[in-house]
Structure 1
Amino acid sequence: METGLLLAIAILLPGLSAVLCYIMRRDTVRKFIVAISAVILFGVAIELARLLIAGGGRIAVSLEDMHIDLNWAIKGIDMLLLCYIAYLGIRLKKHIILVLSALQAIPFLLFEVFHVFGPVKEPHFAFVIDYLSLVMILLVCIIGPVITLFAIGYMKEHEHHLALKTSRQPRFFLVLFIFLAAMNAMVMTDNLSWMYLFWEITTLCSFLLISHDGNEQAVNNASRALWINSLGGLAFICAIVLIYKAKGTLSIEEISQSRNAGEAFIGMFPIGLGLLCFAGFTKSAQFPFQSWLLGAMVAPTPVSALLHSSTMVKAGVYLVVRMAPAYSGTVLANVVAMVGGFTFLAASAIAISQRNGKRVLAYSTIANLGLIICCAGMGSYAAIGAAVMLMIFHAVSKGLLFLCIGTIENGIGSRDIEDMQGLMKKMPFTTVITVIGMISMLLPPFGVLITKWLAIESSVNSPLVLLAIILGSAFTVVFWSKWIGIILTMSYKPKYIVERLSLWVRGSLVILISAVLAASILIVPMFNGLIKPYLTTLSISGGPELEGRGLGVIMHSADASIIGGFASILFFAVVFVLMVTIPYFLRKTKAESVKPPYLCGENMNNDIRGLEFISPGDKVEEVVVHNYYMAGFFGEKNLTLWTNLVASAIIIIMFGVVIK
């Protein structure tokens, strides 16, 4: 009963909070509701982790044993949801949304309601939680609430800039919390049909959040997100029908482990798995479906952080990783690895040409999601381990970075990277946290680099995938390094501006930067406690294995000889020493020892960027200093069409190899 209560709280509490935030219009009451909800969700995640570990790595809850039958309620909500999405298609005059909703309704009604393919046997356990589910629950119940806390401080400033007469925050927090409830339910359920419902709820919520500001651009981008994800929903419902006909079960646990039982990979089953992977590609914005996630950048920053870190896009990679054991070692797996590897390469390349900070983060998100899917496709012990670890490291780092860029945008009124010169003098607190967040995506000892190393090691037998990962990793160095260099560019002026942030914004940034550091410092207990137990349930044989030992994660062969590894804590000791000593010596620098640059005239005294001077005509001039973006080669206009064509061809090949 304790477990069932925790599951109910994880799903129903965000729903209750959503309703209360919508009903209670006073800011103080809403702040209280959000803060209390965040604390409770933190506690639920920690308690579920304790119960799962104590219970041997599996929690199963049967509603039948409690004499609760929700199947018809789920089907009814599903049908209402499809009808509402169809209504949105009519209202927005987007016929593709209407058509896709109707196409989803047909197999749904035939299979779930009229039982044309025979009676449907529902899984005995409505909810099954294992270590992979727990990883997602921790991300949703920790990062998600932190983003809602940040939104309290951010949305007030955001609406001030929009000059709104009536606040839309009640609606905003309503959808935000429904999103969290749907995500928790989606990763907990063992019923593939139920998962489809929660999958579609996140699709609708993403539309409502992206279109929140109500301007034409926001509505158009939200509509694109809706129809692309509805395309994935159509693939999902078709996959349910095919997989049930092939396996006679809707249990996600049984489906994912069917290959471990020695069953052949023939018939409709591989087609169904291919459709599930396709649905995962759309949700996680893999090429050629990346445009919806890029368009989501028009939404308020908390929406971007939520979609890109712990929820929407993670649902897609979660599905692909969850089903990885079912297609491991097949031709389908090889093509899935190619889709992910190519997306990682293409998104990293295009990110080099971007000046808009949010678009850089968006392309980086797409790239890292591609790497997770690539690892799932490779399917080895080390690759799956890298996929799950990257889900964690990417969620905390990217969630932090989106909140940082939103804070910077509110502070300087721009997302342009070039406008961030001298940011260290204007917003020193935010700048330091932003730089650490970027470094966590780029350099040791942070976990993202470790996962890239594991991905490269796992792909040595797949030359094309290996080349994509190596080139993509090199491109990430370019765009992160350029951005870090701009942010840390400071004038010779000793003056700093006191940065004023609300408690909600400052507290959220502190929590997430602490999570970024903790995830990498504690990588050994995290790996041994969360990831290794999951890997042991997959019965993966062959290839190098991973082990958290001593001060880091090491890779060893079957004879226990060490192949490689990272001693994270030692790296952190070096980084910590540098972080302490460098500012100390900088503060010791005397003002008279710093010589200002000559800018063809007298330097301006009040210029904190050090880029302004007085020309001979007594006119204030500004020195133009900027990065190279190589748009002529890496620009979106040059690469998007061709990368989309190649990605589409790979996906067509994927279905070609599974349809026999």
Structure 2
Amino acid sequence: MDWYLLLAAILLPALSAALCFIIRNQKVRIAIVSISTVLLFAVAGGFIALMVKSPDGKLVFHMEHSVLEVVSWVIKGFDLLLFCYIAYIGLKHKKAIVFILSVLQFIPWALFEVFGVFGKVNEPESAFVIDYLALIMIMLVSIIGPIITVFAIGYMKEHEHHLHLKVSRQPRFFMILFIFLAAMNALVMTNNLSWMYFFWEITTLCSFLLISHDATEIAIKNGLRALWINSVGGLAFIIAIVLMNSGLNTLSIQEISEAGMQGAFAGVLPIALSLLCIAGFTKSAQFPFQSWLLGAMVAPTPVSALLHSSTMVKAGVYLVVRISPAFAGTVLGQMVAIVGGFTFVAASAIAISQSNAKKVLAYSTIANLGLIICCAGIGTRISLAAAILLMIFHAVSKGLLFLCVGTIELGIGSRDIEDMQGLFKRMPFTTVITVIGQISMLLPPFGVLITKWMAIETAVHQPLVLLFLILGSALTVVFWSKWIGIILTMSYKPKYTREKLSFSMKAALSALIAVVMAASIGIAPLYNQFVKPQILAFKLADKEVLTGTGMGIWLQKVDAAVYGGFASIMFFAVILVLMVAIPVIANRIKPNRLKTPYLCGANADEDLRGLEFISPGDKIDTVVVRNYYMENVFGEKKLTFWVNVVAGAVIIIMLGVVTGL
């Protein structure tokens, strides 16, 4: 059963990709996506059942040497095709840096993998290993991913209608989405660092293809930027593989993760680990590599939700969290924490100046990924628990919010936050779900805030990192509060517009909001069942632990005394009462009790926002009511250059420290 599930997790999305591309009928494609969604849910459920029954909390898949060798050569063949195709993209679009980086990756890869110049390739016989960290990633990929593909059914139809396309490009679009899901599942399950590199590069290529999907000049430009920046990380990755193989005589990810705990943090290992961290930085868009994710916002909304918020960027933080025990408590760990903490505060600051909703979500995504990287660098039991929990909560909440923004953009023709005033009267269903999603990123008892608290608790011995976390957490309150305030603004008009959404879009939004609520309400069993076993498996030196009891999370020091926590179920009871009470009270207010505001003229009748009035000459004007965005302080143009310089300097210092220069 275990091998069947593993093959299904990789081959089922690959088969769905081929069918979506070959069969051009819309109804058949809907059936393929729907059936694939159910089957991937079943695959995730199957892995959960196997892990619960596993006595040592791990599923190990061994391959005979002859089979391992055949599979390795097949992957090498696909690797070669991947290099060639990426180089071709660079030549086709006259982007020299893409071609050069592809060649620079190919040279060490060929010398190492094909010609054996750097010694024997020590591939582990345990080709795939699934522990609880891998299981969590499988759940994100195989549950959140399919939900987003279901949303894409309705969204892409409307998207192409607005683009006035004569020939639909949906077959290609859904093919790439499913290829990406297959690559992500393989990436998190493999125990072979060389194989991980192959799947890593597939996600890079998928990112380019999906960002440039609309084939506009700006889409292709931003797709190429994502390709070359992630290729920088790919170059660091392949060099790290060569160093790791020669230094530790293994490419087993499990053994690499345990090397530092066994006192092997010496020789080339620190250099190789730092290069793997840089690969993780590029994939997770840490400063100064963030521009590719910001540019990716031109892509259709399902791309933003799937690749650039909930799953692909998680590959970067997954890699850093996976290898973090190897450098826990070292100078490298401290530098990684500084990189992540600085990204957290810098991205949160710039987000304040943004009125484009997708850009707010993009910077918020970068900030939260920085927080995960920071927790991985701190390297304690509590910080790694915070990192893994934040991976879960951020994936579901941010995936939901990207879909909400895409839905709003289709509804009102804008993604500007200021245009969302009075949205509740025009799109009540989407507004309610959007606000709950926003609150889940900001307030207790939702998981994102709890993980921030955990991160701050564990950073007390690193003052600079602690300062970053406190400042970043404060800044996030500003941009989320502004947006929530705008979107909840309601006019005095008693009438509403009945919102029309396709079944697939409404189902996806409903499913994700249910997952957001369930994950936060059930944070204690979620932690106890999936996160705590992984933290204990890391076998870290510190003894501080989290306990999940009473439907809440509690922090225990070494003396077993409880130092703080959240009783989540009590908070949720209060929130649910408010969620029910506020609409009931609002509906009881009679229209004749509402006084119409004076807007410099007679109020316009058909305006649901309550901001339009009839000016002299019978012209309809709009009252301008805007948030403060403080662009002179937090603007992109003001901060981006300097934060990139600082972040780049920190990474250079990190490399200098580990190399002894």
Q: Distance in 2 between matches of 1:352 and 1:183?
A: 32
Q: Distance in 1 between matches of 2:350 and 2:249?
A: 44
Contact persistence 2:296–2:308 (CA under 8 A): no
- What is residue 644 of structure 2 aligned with on the other side? 644
1:67 deviates by 4.2
Secondary structure of the corresponding residue to residue 529 of structure 1 = helix
1:585 deviates by 1.0
- What is residue 2 of structure 2 aligned with on the other side? 3
Q: Distance in 2 between matches of 1:262 and 1:229?
A: 32
Q: Distance in 2 between matches of 1:40 and 1:563?
A: 43
- What is residue 176 of structure 1 aligned with on the other side? 177
- What is residue 103 of structure 2 aligned with on the other side? 102
Secondary structure of the corresponding residue to residue 165 of structure 1 = coil
Contact persistence 1:308–1:398 (CA under 8 A): no
Q: Distance in 2 between matches of 1:600 and 1:214?
A: 46
- List aligned pairs for 1:533-612, cutoff 5 A: 533-542=533-542, 544-612=544-612
- List aligned pairs for 1:302-381, cutoff 5 A: 302-381=302-381
Contact persistence 1:37–1:145 (CA under 8 A): yes
Deviations for 1:399-424, whole angstroms, at most 9, x for unmatched residues? 00000000000000001111111100
- What is residue 232 of structure 1 aligned with on the other side? 233
Deviations for 1:257-286, whole angstroms, at most 9, x for unmatched residues? 1122232x2211100000000000000000
Q: Distance in 1 between matches of 2:66 and 2:401?
A: 44
- What is residue 279 of structure 1 aligned with on the other side? 279
1:125 matched to 2:96? The reply is: no
Report the more deviating stretch, 132-141 or 67-76: 67-76
- What is residue 23 of structure 1 aligned with on the other side? 22
Contact persistence 2:492–2:596 (CA under 8 A): yes
Deviations for 1:184-232, whole angstroms, at most 9, x for unmatched residues? 0000000000000000000000000000000000000000000000010
| Paired AA for residue 487 in structure 2 | I
Contact persistence 2:521–2:551 (CA under 8 A): no
Q: Distance in 1 between matches of 2:49 and 2:28?
A: 32
1:117 deviates by 1.6
Report the more deviating stretch, 586-595 or 141-150: 586-595
Deviations for 1:169-194, whole angstroms, at most 9, x for unmatched residues? 00000100000000000000000000
Q: Distance in 1 between matches of 2:468 and 2:644?
A: 16
| Paired AA for residue 570 in structure 1 | M
Contact persistence 1:309–1:396 (CA under 8 A): no
Q: Distance in 2 between matches of 1:551 and 1:23?
A: 48
- What is residue 151 of structure 1 aligned with on the other side? 152
Deviations for 1:21-48, whole angstroms, at most 9, x for unmatched residues? 0000000000000000000000100110
Q: Distance in 1 between matches of 2:44 and 2:635?
A: 42
Q: Distance in 2 between matches of 1:208 and 1:571?
A: 43
Q: Structure 1 residues 9 and 65 mapped into 2: Cα distance closer, same or farther (>3 Å)?
A: farther
| Identity level (%) | 67
Q: Distance in 1 between matches of 2:472 and 2:528?
A: 29
1:627 deviates by 0.4
1:346 deviates by 0.4
Q: Distance in 1 between matches of 2:110 and 2:377?
A: 32
Q: Distance in 2 between matches of 1:543 and 1:339?
A: 25
Secondary structure of the corresponding residue to residue 24 of structure 2 = coil
1:616 deviates by 4.5
Q: Distance in 2 between matches of 1:99 and 1:282?
A: 18
Q: Distance in 2 between matches of 1:523 and 1:273?
A: 32
- What is residue 623 of structure 2 aligned with on the other side? 623
Contact persistence 2:336–2:377 (CA under 8 A): yes
| Paired AA for residue 220 in structure 1 | K
Q: Distance in 1 between matches of 2:140 and 2:403?
A: 16
- What is residue 499 of structure 1 aligned with on the other side? 499
| Paired AA for residue 211 in structure 1 | S
1:65 deviates by 7.5
Q: Distance in 2 between matches of 1:378 and 1:539?
A: 15
- List aligned pairs for 1:38-437, cutoff 5 A: 38-56=37-55, 57-64=57-64, 67=67, 69-263=70-264, 265-437=265-437
Q: Distance in 2 between matches of 1:131 and 1:397?
A: 21
Deviations for 1:520-566, whole angstroms, at most 9, x for unmatched residues? 00101000000000000111232631110112000011111000000
1:497 deviates by 0.1
Q: Distance in 2 between matches of 1:359 and 1:98?
A: 29
- What is residue 511 of structure 1 aligned with on the other side? 511
Q: Distance in 2 between matches of 1:311 and 1:205?
A: 12
Deviations for 1:345-384, whole angstroms, at most 9, x for unmatched residues? 0000000000100000000000000000000000011100
Contact persistence 1:123–1:251 (CA under 8 A): yes
Deviations for 1:471-530, whole angstroms, at most 9, x for unmatched residues? 111111000000011101111011000000000000000000000000000101000000
Contact persistence 2:340–2:370 (CA under 8 A): yes
Secondary structure of the corresponding residue to residue 414 of structure 2 = coil
Secondary structure of the corresponding residue to residue 177 of structure 1 = helix
| Paired AA for residue 103 in structure 1 | L
| Paired AA for residue 145 in structure 2 | G
Secondary structure of the corresponding residue to residue 414 of structure 1 = coil
Secondary structure of the corresponding residue to residue 186 of structure 1 = helix
Q: Distance in 2 between matches of 1:67 and 1:289?
A: 39
TM-score w.r.t. length of structure 2: 0.99
1:621 deviates by 2.3
Q: Distance in 2 between matches of 1:67 and 1:627?
A: 62
Q: Distance in 1 between matches of 2:620 and 2:338?
A: 54
Secondary structure of the corresponding residue to residue 613 of structure 2 = strand
| Paired AA for residue 74 in structure 2 | A
Contact persistence 2:119–2:246 (CA under 8 A): no
1:155 deviates by 0.2
Report the more deviating stretch, 301-310 or 179-188: 301-310
1:254 deviates by 0.5
Q: Distance in 2 between matches of 1:365 and 1:309?
A: 6
Secondary structure of the corresponding residue to residue 254 of structure 1 = helix
Report the more deviating stretch, 591-600 or 364-373: 591-600
Q: Distance in 2 between matches of 1:619 and 1:278?
A: 57
- What is residue 460 of structure 1 aligned with on the other side? 460
| Paired AA for residue 278 in structure 1 | I
Gaps of 5+ in 1: none
Contact persistence 2:525–2:551 (CA under 8 A): no
Q: Distance in 2 between matches of 1:67 and 1:124?
A: 10
Secondary structure of the corresponding residue to residue 644 of structure 1 = helix
Secondary structure of the corresponding residue to residue 80 of structure 1 = helix
Secondary structure of the corresponding residue to residue 609 of structure 1 = coil
Q: Distance in 2 between matches of 1:619 and 1:173?
A: 46
Report the more deviating stretch, 73-82 or 541-550: 541-550
1:96 deviates by 0.6
Q: Distance in 2 between matches of 1:342 and 1:369?
A: 11
1:619 deviates by 3.1
Q: Distance in 2 between matches of 1:275 and 1:167?
A: 41
Secondary structure of the corresponding residue to residue 547 of structure 1 = strand
1:629 deviates by 0.4
1:307 deviates by 1.5
Q: Distance in 2 between matches of 1:616 and 1:187?
A: 64
| Paired AA for residue 502 in structure 1 | S
Q: Structure 1 residues 637 and 67 mapped into 2: Cα distance closer, same or farther (>3 Å)?
A: closer
Secondary structure of the corresponding residue to residue 507 of structure 1 = helix
Gaps of 5+ in 2: none
TM-score w.r.t. length of structure 1: 0.99
1:310 deviates by 2.9
Contact persistence 1:424–1:490 (CA under 8 A): yes
Contact persistence 1:420–1:486 (CA under 8 A): yes
- What is residue 12 of structure 2 aligned with on the other side? 13
